[in-house]
Structure 1
Amino acid sequence: MSQIAKQLRAERGDLIIKARAILNAADVTAEQMAEADKMMARADELMARIERTEKADALAIELDGSLRAEAERRGVSAGDIEAEKEREQRLFKAFVTGRVSALTDDDRRIVAQRIQAAASVGTTTAGGYTVAPDFMRELLIAQKAFGGVRGAARVIESGTGVDLPWPTMDDTSNVATIVGENTSGAAGTDLTFGSKTLKAWTYRSGYLVISLELLQDSAFNFDTLIRDALAQRFARGQNPHFTTGNGTTQPEGFVTGATVGYTMPTGNTATVSTDGLIELEHSVDPAYRAGARWMMADATFKGVKKLKDSQNRPLFLPGFTVGAADTVLGYPVSINQDMATPAANAKTIGFGNFQNYIVRDVMGLVVKRLDERFAENAQVGFIAFQRTDGRTVSAAAPIKVLAQSAT
């Protein structure tokens, strides 16, 4: 981790300690309360910067590790894999900037193969450019870093988009029993299996439009620009469905598939209490509390940060050490801006093991270059397609939600 991130964490920790000292005082003036609010707001700003810095460090480490693993799997050197990656980046940039003709014959042959591979079924015309595996891996990591469900879920990849049945089982009601010597046991209870089906919904990015002058004159790293833009667009489009999707015409959101673990008592349409969080925590079977986390919108988290236990100790603890997450009651917190904020009957907080929520990606991101559509404005457009699905696959209830009161 970079020294900058360490310094930012130390600065953030000092701000939180000072703010708590003010808030825990016996008599707090309005001016002091406003100062404490400013400190906490600054701490939030620092956390956003810390997360970006640490995620960039983690991305570099993950990509370096995947490069070494790929080299070992194929029995080649890391230098060979790096050279392939550089070539793919060069080819993709040539495709983006319209300079394929300037490539060598071998390079043009590879580009032609990728364009043909991306053509629509039954069509001989070029459909787009199938991006290289490294580009796709970087895109998925960038989407994960964007936050929300994907960052907490278990992500799998499949080579095709056919329906993928996922077996489920809940044997928690069956127990072993004691039998006497030479006594036959009771009839056994068979394992009961179920199944959830992961589909492959097609998401499209919308148009990315770039001026012809910029493409021709700039030495800008367009593959990175397009990757980051696509990552954010796909994340913004998919995360609402991973959160509250209906499961029939879109992915099934974890909130949609979850049961209510606790409902706040009457009078708590807009507030969350310490007791409410404790009740939600213990509504989840202990088997699913290992590796569990909270998920809520930032506005909800702001209120949770102010909660204390019966000994007047805050439930919220900031992550001071390298890579440490902020915790509430000892569990890490994921911010998901597509979750409801406190209001009557709203389901505002999720808790449980989100590794039981599966995001299924179909490999083969296709980027299409649109030369004619925006030609009159001297622009070139790009559009991308990604197929994915998500749903909770456990037959039990690994994730539960807290609901606000009706009145």
Structure 2
Amino acid sequence: MPVDNQDIAQVAQELGAKFEEFKQKNDQRLDGIAQEKSKLAESVDKINGTLSELDGLKGQLEAILAKQNRPGGGGGDSKDVAEHKSAFGAFIRKGREDDLRELERKALNTATDEDGGYAVPEDLDRQLAELAHDAVVMRQECNVISQGGTGYRKLVDLGGTTSGWVGETDARPATGTPKLQPIAPTWGELYANPQATQGMLDDAFFNPETWLASGVNVSFSEQEEAGFSYGDGVKKPKGLFAHGTEAKSDAERTFGKLQHLLAGGTGLSADDLIKLIYTLRKPYRSGAKWMMNGLSVMACRLLKDAEGNYLWRPGLEEGAPSILLGYGIAENEEMPDIAAAAQALAFGNFKRAYTIIDRIGTRVLRDPYTNKPYVGFYTTKRVGSLLENHEAVKMLQQAAA
């Protein structure tokens, strides 16, 4: 269904009205007598949940509108691309491999064995990448690059380079030697195996590429969100929050460990959130965001500053996100709930901290034998990740019970 600016404005108006009702009810809850508090708390929780739904709906409508307004590619497919699409379509529907095999031989594609499946067409690979971006919060917030192989490396400076001020004719003493360390991604292979009947594939109105993309996306996105958040690095990428944390400052901390700030209690407080913001160095605060799960967002909506102002503010203008203490919020349901000793909130510049690497070339192996009468499409993709800057993200760790 098409979306226009009026739809977004209507949701934003409802979001603003609901936030005013939320503030009124919550203030009554805080000031109410004991017998009224339980009833008011239930009302506040219900409105808080509605705020989450409206906030999410506004973001979804804005994303749909942005896609509608995105200019088309134009110019049509090149001859090679058209040939690949046609050959891949025949492979999906009928299992005809000869044309695909010949095209990959012409392209000198020797990265996989003859029985390792075939590369999906470029436009389908792009569609899969767009679906993954829309479904995986870590892809939206972190740096994402594509590589033709798995040889990506990066040098990081562990400190040691010195500098100073000199006059025009002063001697320039030698500076310290920088301590450079190469870092490499951890890689893993994602797989999905959506199933279709031959009758579905023979149907002229059935779009096998769209079906394949949607089926693969559901499987891949769930695995990627978990992997990029807390993956252990064994046959999968190492997640950003799996690198561990220390309470030491940036200058004292072991490279590869994030810094955590110890909260004053097992629950949230405005002072802890404000301190967490300013624990992050100023260069990283530009472009910084919060990251937490939905229940933590609801808990943050209840917080006030010393003057009684709510720390959370709804984004009522088109394109304006809801903010917490002036910074946007990324909801990641892989993050833990707020509890004793939990690290439920992160704050930082995720694009500077963590890089996700896609190896170009999703491959599909057609299998009409294993699960008759269904035809399986065993789809694989290589992905990797690495922590590039351990200073750019901070964690809030709640006090132990």
TM normalised by structure 1 equals 0.82
Distance of aligned partners of 1:135 and 1:9 in 2 relative to their CA distance in 1, 3 Å threshold: farther
Is 1:262 equivalent to 2:261 in the alignment? yes
Counterpart-to-counterpart distance in 1, 2:362 and 2:197: 23
**1:144 Cα deviation after fit:** 1.4
- Name the counterpart of 1:2: 4
Counterpart-to-counterpart distance in 2, 1:33 and 1:130: 55
- Name the counterpart of 1:109: 99
CA contact (8 A) 1:305 1:314 kept: yes
- Name the counterpart of 2:64: 56
- Say which of 109, 125, 128 aligns to 1:136: 125
| Identical counterparts, % of pairs | 23
Distance of aligned partners of 1:181 and 1:369 in 2 relative to their CA distance in 1, 3 Å threshold: closer
Query: Which letter maps to 2:335?
Result: M
**1:120 Cα deviation after fit:** 8.2
Counterpart-to-counterpart distance in 2, 1:217 and 1:228: 18
**1:11 Cα deviation after fit:** 2.0
- Say which of 241, 246, 254 aligns to 2:232: 246
Q: What SS is found at the alignment partner of 1:191?
A: coil
Is 1:46 equivalent to 2:54 in the alignment? yes
**1:319-377, Cα deviation, whole Å (9 max, x unpaired):** 212222221111111111111222332221111111121001000001222111122xx
Counterpart-to-counterpart distance in 1, 2:208 and 2:10: 32
Is the deviation greater in 276-285 or in 184-193?
Answer: 184-193
- Say which of 18, 28, 36 aligns to 1:15: 18
Distance of aligned partners of 1:115 and 1:27 in 2 relative to their CA distance in 1, 3 Å threshold: farther
- Name the counterpart of 2:371: 374
- Name the counterpart of 1:314: 310
- Say which of 178, 182, 204 aligns to 1:191: 178
- Say which of 388, 391, 399 aligns to 1:397: 391
- Say which of 233, 253, 258 aligns to 2:219: 233
Is 1:155 equivalent to 2:151 in the alignment? no
Counterpart-to-counterpart distance in 1, 2:93 and 2:59: 32
Counterpart-to-counterpart distance in 1, 2:85 and 2:228: 31
CA contact (8 A) 1:288 1:398 kept: yes
- Say which of 190, 196, 202 aligns to 2:189: 202
Counterpart-to-counterpart distance in 1, 2:274 and 2:161: 24
Is the deviation greater in 9-18 or in 82-91?
Answer: 82-91
TM normalised by structure 2 equals 0.83
Counterpart-to-counterpart distance in 1, 2:24 and 2:384: 46
**1:121 Cα deviation after fit:** 5.8
**1:23 Cα deviation after fit:** 1.8
**Which structure 1 segments of 5+ residues have no match?**
68-77, 102-107
**1:151 Cα deviation after fit:** 1.1
**1:183 Cα deviation after fit:** 4.5
Counterparts of residues 351-370 of structure 1 (less than 5 Å): 351-356=347-352, 357-370=354-367
- Name the counterpart of 2:253: none
CA contact (8 A) 2:232 2:238 kept: yes
